[in-house]
């Protein structure tokens, strides 16, 4: 499969900020329909990705994100539970 690499952000490219200045397309006609001025940087041949492998990696990443979110939620819930217990302890002390 042929891929076309375009410089999409010429200012960032000139500043050496390569992480965000390129766009990659498989069809050169896509660039013609975009209203920005892209410059063709390179044409490369690439092997199509194995869909199963890509899916497996995506699912693993989603699982990692889910675990991270659950851990943060559990941490926040624990802090809220502690605050609740402290509030109850204070109010029961004040009522006695």
Q: Per residue of the chain (96 residues), what is the pLDDT tens digit?
A: 888 888 888 888 889 888 878 888 888 888 777 767 888 888 888 887 777 887 888 899 999 999 999 999 999 999 999 999 999 999 887 555
My answer on whether 38 and 24 are in the same domain is yes
Chain segment 42-52, per-residue pLDDT in tens:
888 888 777 78
My answer on whether 32 and 74 are in the same domain is no
Q: What is the reported pTM?
A: 0.45
My answer on whether 56 and 96 are in the same domain is yes
* Number of domains, the chain: 2
With beta carbons less than 8 A apart as the criterion, state whether 84 and 42 touch. no
Placement of tokens 């890509």 in the chain: 54
DSSP letters, 26-84, are S-HHHHHHSSS--EEEEEEE-PPPPHHHHHHHHHHHHHHHHHHHHHHHHHHHHHHHHHH
My answer on whether 61 and 93 are in the same domain is yes
- Domain residue limits at 63: 50-96
My answer on whether 70 and 88 are in the same domain is yes
Q: Which of 55, 29, 48, 52 is nearest to 40 (CA)?
A: 29
């Amino acid at each position: 499969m042929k891929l076309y690499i375009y410089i999409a952000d010429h200012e960032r490219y000139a500043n050496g900020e390569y992480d965000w200045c390129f766009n990659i397309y498989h069809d050169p006609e896509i660039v013609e329909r975009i209203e920005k001025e892209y410059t063709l940087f390179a044409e490369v041949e690439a092997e199509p990705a194995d869909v199963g492998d890509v899916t497996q990696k995506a699912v693993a990443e989603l699982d990692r994100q889910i675990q991270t979110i659950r851990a943060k939620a559990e941490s926040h819930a624990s802090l809220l539970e502690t605050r609740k217990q402290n509030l109850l302890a204070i109010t029961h002390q004040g009522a006695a």
